[in-house]
Chain A
Amino acid sequence: MAFAGHLVMVVALVVCLYGIGAALYGARHGRRDWVDSGRRSVYCLAVVLTLGMVILEVAFVRNDFSYTAVANTSSTTTPLLYRVAAMWSSQEGSLLLWVWLLSIWSSAAIYLTRNRLRDVVPYATSVLLGFGAFFTTLLVFLDSPFGQMSSVPTDGAGLDPLLRNPSMLIHPPMLYSGYTFFSIPFAFAVGALIVRRVDADWIRITRRFALASWMFLGIGILLGARWSYYELGWGGYWGWDPVENAALMPWLISTAFLHSVMIQEKRGMLKIWNASLVLGASTLAIVGTFLVRSGVLDSIHAFTGGGLGVPFVALIATMVAGSVYLVVTRREVLRSEHSLDSLFSREAAFLLNNIILVGLCFVIFWGTFFPLISQAVTGTSAKVGPPWFDRYTVPLALILVLLSGIGPVIAWRRATLANARRNFALPVAAAGAMAIAAYTVVPIGSSVPTVILFCCAMFVLASIGQEFWRGTRARRAMSSEAPPLALLSMVRRNRRRYGGYIVHTGIAVLFIGVAASSTFQHEQELSLQVGQSTHVGAYTMRYVKATSHVVNDPSHTGATLTLGAVLRVTRDGKYVATLRPAADYYPASSILSGQVVADLISGDAVQQVALKSSLRRDLWAAIKPLGTTLPSTGVQVPEESLVALGDTTILPSTPQEKQLEAAYIELGAIADAYRRNPPPASFTLISSPLVMWIWLGGLIVLLGGLTAIWPPPAARRGRIRARYFARVAQELGRA
């Protein structure tokens, strides 16, 4: 099957090259049939790559260790779902996932635009297939996912235990979907610039694809944040790590584009700027992929180079040079039709929003690439830490939140005093009330930035609430519908506008969560014995008893031994929650004779965080059982004497399966001893307010995005009508 896999990759590359040629030839010579053939190449690529994905996934599911990728990242003890996800934990597998998602999303985009923008689509098709050709070339010549082991091992190395989390199933595909989706607005922008057609139709199509990529990437980023908060025990959801930043930068730029494109739509302004934003966001998405692959920057996501740096630099250079060339040579078509009338207008608010988003992106870019910059300037590589990022991003984020309340209600062209009074009286009053509450009712007065953010967020919520209220009232006056129905039909009739408002609401809620949880978090790191308790903020946490499991770990990740604790959380003597943090132990990658018991648990140890979330606060606990260090590996395990005893009682001469069986029985004895007479354990205990608001805000943003992206009823009716007329014309033609 590996040969079939290789063949599939070669076919995919040929399909890409053919499609590029066909689409370009068709466009140059006005040959519709060739253009169609180019379009079908995209569908064909999707089918071929799906076949490649299936071949590789089958190898993972069937534990076929003759594949290098399977042997390196999966094992018989890895649970089925994680074997499926192990495919994209290898470099070559993740590249295949990347190009596969690209082919799927490209097919969708090319299908949706099959009857529109006839002059632009052939070029867009060839750009998309160009990306496809780049990645399939990597897969064919540099890093094949179907590489074979020289000798087939009996078992693989296993999926890294830290990746055995449900997020592994969804976070990478979402993030990659976001990254690959950015190729679509890029392709359409390049196509439109080549044929010098940046009109309303182009905006409509590009905007929708940009919104989809923005949404996917946003979900991917949030899922990653949640994963690092929940599973990895990094104790936080954001750390300004290069790979996190790499995902955030294109997201910020496309946020800017989604706003400024409205000015182009309404006023014919900012065309050069918008084209640059689309091209820039996609280039940054490739820069993000490059950062992940090349190991050029030291990130906690540790990608120790794979020789893919040079091709990626070449791709990025081509994208930048091509974009600059196209924008410069097409500047005449991109000339503004109007200029800014007043600094107090929606255009100005959007412009400021754009400047701040691009500024944020610049700050993050500078901080992320600072190790390279300082290396070039001073000769030593140096890094800037989270405080440096916070110093710039916090004030910029505050202004952004405030603008997300101003933008939706300020008038286009020129705001008058009467208009301002009408729209801003309530939001300003709400922000004022929040400021008073911050120093009286809600105990947040000790942190000024948090108070400012809460006031800004209240301002946004009030201004958007007011918009919804006014819209519903106007709708009711016209149609005399019941209020919920009026609200619904108002949103349905103007999905983009109200979808945008919902997104702003979500962002305000998200920032409330970020501000509260980063400022008012209580954290304790200490060692406790059974029966002892400690205070974390207003909560008392008591180590009630120790727990242990052999093989059947509660989180179903395939751990051989799990040692945990039961913590009882109370507040003012009243019961609040029970937390069950645990540490999972996994087998070492190879089992040495005479050390069976030790090696069954001397692989990576992973903390399973216990989390109780509510709207008000999160209680978070992680445990590291304190024992002794296994001298053979340096890994922490409890009760070394028992482990050693286990190994000495199992005779090395017995057959391997018998040895293993005896070792598991010894593991049971260790688990039992740990439960009955537990040694002290080291705990990290956190109580953090309003963390759930971050995820809730994310969900609201997603809801808003979906509302905005959904085709309006009129468009669907129009399409049906168009199809009907086409049929009639066809019938008439036949008659």
Chain B
Amino acid sequence: MTHPRKRHVRLVVSLTLAVLLASGLIYTSFAASDPALTPSQLLARGRDGGNVQLTGTVVKRSITNHADGVVDFRLADRAGDGVSVPVVYSGSVPAAFATGRELIVTGRLHGGAFDAQPGSMITKCPSKYSAAPNGSA
């Protein structure tokens, strides 16, 4: 059997280490995170500025492909109350990018349009369980 005092020291040392690591983890998670907003929340915030993860649905008839590989489209809230944000995205879009798809892009609001970082677009997996149209699932 180990000496009780030694065990006590071990316990204190390992607990201190665990607490230190956990606080590092918690600190960095707050420092490294981007706010996740919907188009209406982004517009309500109003100001240009820091990076944001924007989640929304691609609005019908809003996709325009430019020859230089830039894609313009509008993102609306999932609930769909008509509010939408214009998004400018350069680079190749994922396979599932299409009208009506939900997607997440990271970028920042810049002069009224959302300037998305290249390669930041994630389309949602379609294994989606949506509620029935009348809301009664």
Residues of A within 8 A of B (CB): 68, 72, 89-91, 94, 142-143, 160, 162-163, 228, 232-235, 239, 243, 293, 298-307, 339-341, 359, 362-363, 366-367, 370-371, 374, 377-378, 380-385, 387-388, 391-392, 525-527, 604-607, 622, 624, 626, 628-629, 631-636, 682-684
Q: Say whether B36 contacts A382, CB under 8 Å.
A: yes
- Whether B9 sits at the interface, judged by CB under 8 Å, is no
Q: Nearest Cβ distance between residue A176 and chain B, in whole angstroms?
A: 12
* C-alpha gap A526/B126 in the complex (Å): 26
Q: Say whether A624 contacts B93, CB under 8 Å.
A: yes
Q: Say whether B137 contacts A636, CB under 8 Å.
A: no
Q: Say whether B36 contacts A307, CB under 8 Å.
A: no
| Chain B, 93-137, CB within 8 A of any chain A CB | 93-96, 98-99, 101-102, 104, 106, 122-132, 137
Q: Say whether B61 contacts A304, CB under 8 Å.
A: no
Whether A233 contacts B28 in the complex (CB less than 8 A), given A162-B125, A385-B34, A636-B63, comes out as no
Q: Say whether A604 contacts B98, CB under 8 Å.
A: yes
Q: Say whether A91 contacts B137, CB under 8 Å.
A: yes
Q: Which residues of A contact B129 (CB under 8 A)?
A: 90-91, 94, 293, 303-304, 306
Q: Nearest Cβ distance between residue A138 and chain B, in whole angstroms?
A: 11
Q: Which residues of B contact A622 (CB under 8 A)?
A: 95
Q: Say whether A382 contacts B127, CB under 8 Å.
A: no
Chain A's closest residue to B91 (CB) is A525
Q: Say whether B131 contacts A629, CB under 8 Å.
A: no
* C-alpha gap A427/B10 in the complex (Å): 29
Q: Which residues of A contact B122 (CB under 8 A)?
A: 234, 239, 300
Among B22, B65, B129, residue most surrounded by chain A Cβ atoms (within 10 Å): B129
Q: Which residue of B1, B59, B96 is within 8 Å of A606 (Cβ)? A: B96
Q: Say whether B32 contacts A381, CB under 8 Å.
A: no
Q: Say whether A304 contacts B125, CB under 8 Å.
A: no
Whether A635 contacts B99 in the complex (CB less than 8 A), given A293-B129, A383-B53, comes out as yes
- Whether B64 sits at the interface, judged by CB under 8 Å, is yes
Q: Say whether A366 contacts B25, CB under 8 Å.
A: yes
Chain B at the A interface: mostly helix, strand, loop or mixed? Answer: loop
Task: Give 19 A-B pairs besides A233-B95, A339-B7 with Cβ atoms closer than 8 angstroms.
Answer: A142-B137, A160-B128, A162-B126, A163-B127, A300-B104, A300-B123, A302-B125, A302-B127, A366-B26, A382-B33, A382-B36, A384-B29, A384-B33, A388-B28, A527-B69, A604-B96, A629-B64, A636-B98, A684-B92
Q: Which residues of A contact B128 (CB under 8 A)?
A: 160, 301-304
Q: Say whether A307 contacts B131, CB under 8 Å.
A: yes
Chain B interface residue count, CB cutoff 8 Å, equals 53
Count of inter-chain pairs, beta carbons less than 8 A: 161
Q: Which residues of A contact B63 (CB under 8 A)?
A: 629, 634, 636
Q: Say whether B126 contacts A160, CB under 8 Å.
A: yes
Q: Which residue of B26, B55, B98, B127 is within 8 Å of A301 (Cβ)? A: B127
Q: Say whether B29 contacts A300, CB under 8 Å.
A: no
Whether A233 contacts B34 in the complex (CB less than 8 A), given A305-B131, A339-B2, A636-B63, comes out as no
Q: Which residue of A143, A380, A607, A628 is within 8 Å of B137 (Cβ)? A: A143
Chain A's closest residue to B99 (CB) is A634
Q: Which residues of B contact A388 (CB under 8 A)?
A: 28-29, 32-33
List, sorted by A's number, 8 A–B pairs whose CB atoms are closer than 8 Å. Answer: A89-B127, A90-B129, A232-B96, A234-B122, A304-B78, A385-B106, A527-B69, A629-B63
Q: Which residue of A142, A143, A301, A635 is within 8 Å of B125 (Cβ)? A: A301
- Whether B58 sits at the interface, judged by CB under 8 Å, is yes
- Whether B62 sits at the interface, judged by CB under 8 Å, is yes
- Whether B19 sits at the interface, judged by CB under 8 Å, is no
Whether A339 contacts B92 in the complex (CB less than 8 A), given A301-B127, A381-B35, comes out as no
Q: Nearest Cβ distance between residue A390 and chain B, in whole angstroms?
A: 11
- Whether B12 sits at the interface, judged by CB under 8 Å, is no
Q: Nearest Cβ distance between residue B77 and chain A, in whole angstroms?
A: 12
Q: Nearest Cβ distance between residue B105 and chain A, in whole angstroms?
A: 12
Q: Say whether B126 contacts A163, CB under 8 Å.
A: yes
A-B pairs, 5 with minimum CB distance:
A91-B129, A233-B95, A607-B95, A302-B124, A634-B99
Q: Say whether B2 contacts A340, CB under 8 Å.
A: yes
Q: Which residues of B contact A387 (CB under 8 A)?
A: 32
Q: Which residues of A contact B60 (CB under 8 A)?
A: 633-634
Chain B's closest residue to A605 (CB) is B98
* C-alpha gap A301/B35 in the complex (Å): 19
Interface bits B16-40 vs A (CB < 8 Å: 1, else 0): 0000011001101110111111000
* C-alpha gap A303/B125 in the complex (Å): 9
Among B30, B92, B101, B125, residue most surrounded by chain A Cβ atoms (within 10 Å): B125
Chain B's closest residue to A342 (CB) is B2
